[in-house]
Structure 1
Amino acid sequence: INWAVKPFSMALLGWLFLRHVFVSWLPGEQIDSYIAGLILLAAAPCTAMVFVWSNLCRGDANFTLSQVALNDAIMVVAYAPVVALLLGLSAITVPWNTLILSVGLYILVPVAAAALLRRWLLQRSGAAGLQSALQKVAPLSLSALLLTLVLLFGFQGRQIVQQPLIIAVIAVPILIQVYFNSGLAYLLNRRLGVAHCVAGPSALIGASNFFELAVA
């Protein structure tokens, strides 16, 4: 769902709603930019909030961790090509160096830094020291994520207030995409006999969006 369905379903929904259904409600010169934003948003799954969602739906923590690790690995090689393909089909141009730089700064650098820090903590304090450090950092990571959200919405506050109709229109394909992909992922998991503790986080991850990378 993450890579074979979600990016393409968002591109299709964006094209359908923004170019046809709501075209008279949007400024014509901005439609390409709005569709590009939707594609960038949906081309990669979220890797931060999924642990919170997994806890909320009583998901398997080990499965969630493995899913995030797998998506991070795929993202390094797949995000830029998928985005370039979908933007190309939509006749929208985003430089390859911009896509590659975003992947490097927001995926490769954090993953490499985390791996080096983990190795250093294990060598210095052992597994117990690493676990203690993770427990101390956990509240800070959530606070940092919330601060990121506040800053993003704070910097765009004027746009949100001045253009509520445009924001509501753009939200329509996003909401449909989220409900469609999460429902599809959960249904397929359950049909295959997968337990809820795995199907739940799988569905939420499958419909999630990596908004930080899209903003970058």
Structure 2
Amino acid sequence: MTVDAPVGQPLSTLDRFLPVWIGLAMLAGLVLGRAVPGVATALDAVTVGSVSLPIAVGLLVMMYPVLAKVRYDEVGAVARDTRTMVLSLVLNWLIGPALMFALAWLLLPDLPEYRTGLIIVGLARCIAMVIIWNDLACGDREAAAVLVAVNSVFQVFAFALLGWFYLDLLPGWLGLSSSGLDVSPWQIAGSVLVFLGIPLAAGYLTRVVGERRRGREWYEERFLPRLGPWALYGLLFTIVLLFALQGDQITRQPLDVARIALPLVLYFAIMWAGSLWLARLAGLGYARSTTIAFTAAGNNFELAIAVAIAVYGATSGQALAGVVGPLIEVPVLVGLVYVSLWARRFFPDTRAGVTP
């Protein structure tokens, strides 16, 4: 899905067969994890913010090209759009966690460890892969950059508080069993700094220097087309490593994975569809609505996995639920990219952020 290609321009082989490459990357990761003893130990030997260094590199490679495409001189207009900001904050910090809490308790009442892990996933709002899904679906890059930054700030200050509310306070009010969540704000801030701060700074500097030296026309028509494919290379690399790291655990517990997967699929579908519909009702155009939908549906699995491992241990059910999160999110949100592109016909203006 080449987001900048003119209508009628043929898609590249990478874009045209993206679901195939993702499926092959998942399979390659599973085979690698099963065929090479000790690969998981090797991947976890060096970590960045509690995340494997090779996976961290893949995520940074994935995010940098997309953030280099952002027109930072247009970001201010997004920040001043009250409808976009309020709707995104409500969806991410009120509706999203509440929906995951409800689905986890409804579908996993007898599996407290997995249920807790899913609630943690619901609290960790997306600051990484959402950039890719938004770009593939022709969303508003400038809006995505702003919303991801806002989510990052809220994540630092709100994650631990919401964890206490949904894992301890609210279950007590409802007469349900509760479990605490002890996580440092510094751990969250470190995750935000690594997985958003570094690629954001690199993308901003690349655009500023590139436009200053060669002009915007050269930067967007010559430089970005060469840089763009690296985002998908980083995505595929990351998927291979994720499946290699957790493939053995997943293949040994297929029924448990299926139980965890059901609420996740429902969560991604409900959040995405509901967010797109609400944005359309609010008078936002296709690009801005799509950005709101993907930023609301995606989750920060790096943070969720890191927190689950730090609090409950690497072999815990909470950690397994965190790992299953991105493995379900990737194929589901890739499918929603295609649904989103199909849904453009229902928006009066498919380019602008706000309908006429």
Partner residue in 2 for 1:26? none
Query: 8 Å contact 2:104–2:263 — kept in the other structure?
Result: yes
Deviation of the 1:127 alpha carbon: 5.4
Residue 252 of structure 2 is aligned with which of 150, 159, 162? 162
Q: Cα distance 1:141–1:106, how it changes in 2: closer, same or farther (>3 A)?
A: farther
How big is each residue's C-alpha offset from its partner over 1:136-166, in whole Å with a ceiling of 9 and x where there is no partner?
8765565444433322321221221111111
Query: 8 Å contact 2:128–2:195 — kept in the other structure?
Result: no
CA distance in 1, matches of 2:195, 2:245: 24
Partner amino acid for 2:101?
A
Q: After superposition, where does 1:1-216 map in structure 2 within 5 Å? A: 1-19=91-109, 23=110, 31-89=111-169, 90=171, 91-97=178-184, 100-111=185-196, 113=198, 128=212, 142-216=232-306
Structure 2: which 5+ residue stretches go unaligned? Answer: 1-90, 172-177, 307-356
Deviation of the 1:212 alpha carbon: 1.0
CA distance in 2, matches of 1:34, 1:54: 29
CA distance in 1, matches of 2:191, 2:241: 17
Query: 8 Å contact 2:129–2:298 — kept in the other structure?
Result: no
How big is each residue's C-alpha offset from its partner over 1:61-109, in whole Å with a ceiling of 9 and x where there is no partner?
2112211121112112112211222121441123233xx3430321135
SS at match of 1:5: helix
Aligned residues: 202
Greater shift in the superposed pair: 45-54 or 188-197:
45-54
Q: Which has the higher contact order (CA 8 A, sep 6+)?
A: 1
Partner amino acid for 1:3?
W
CA distance in 2, matches of 1:215, 1:56: 25
Partner amino acid for 1:62?
E
Partner amino acid for 1:60?
D
Which protein is richer in helix relative to its size?
1
Q: Cα distance 1:63–1:117, how it changes in 2: closer, same or farther (>3 A)?
A: closer
Q: Cα distance 1:79–1:145, how it changes in 2: closer, same or farther (>3 A)?
A: farther
Deviation of the 1:208 alpha carbon: 0.9
Query: 8 Å contact 1:76–1:108 — kept in the other structure?
Result: no
Partner residue in 2 for 1:27? none
Greater shift in the superposed pair: 58-67 or 101-110:
101-110
SS at match of 2:138: coil
CA distance in 2, matches of 1:184, 1:196: 14
Query: 8 Å contact 1:46–1:209 — kept in the other structure?
Result: yes
Query: 8 Å contact 1:3–1:44 — kept in the other structure?
Result: no
Deviation of the 1:121 alpha carbon: 7.4
How big is each residue's C-alpha offset from its partner over 1:159-187, in whole Å with a ceiling of 9 and x where there is no partner?
21111111111111111111111111111
Q: TM-score, normalised by structure 1?
A: 0.79
Partner residue in 1 for 2:44? none
CA distance in 2, matches of 1:172, 1:57: 24
Partner amino acid for 2:119?
I
Q: Cα distance 1:119–1:5, how it changes in 2: closer, same or farther (>3 A)?
A: closer
Query: 8 Å contact 1:50–1:205 — kept in the other structure?
Result: yes
CA distance in 2, matches of 1:170, 1:139: 32
Percent pairwise identity? 31
Q: Cα distance 1:68–1:112, how it changes in 2: closer, same or farther (>3 A)?
A: closer
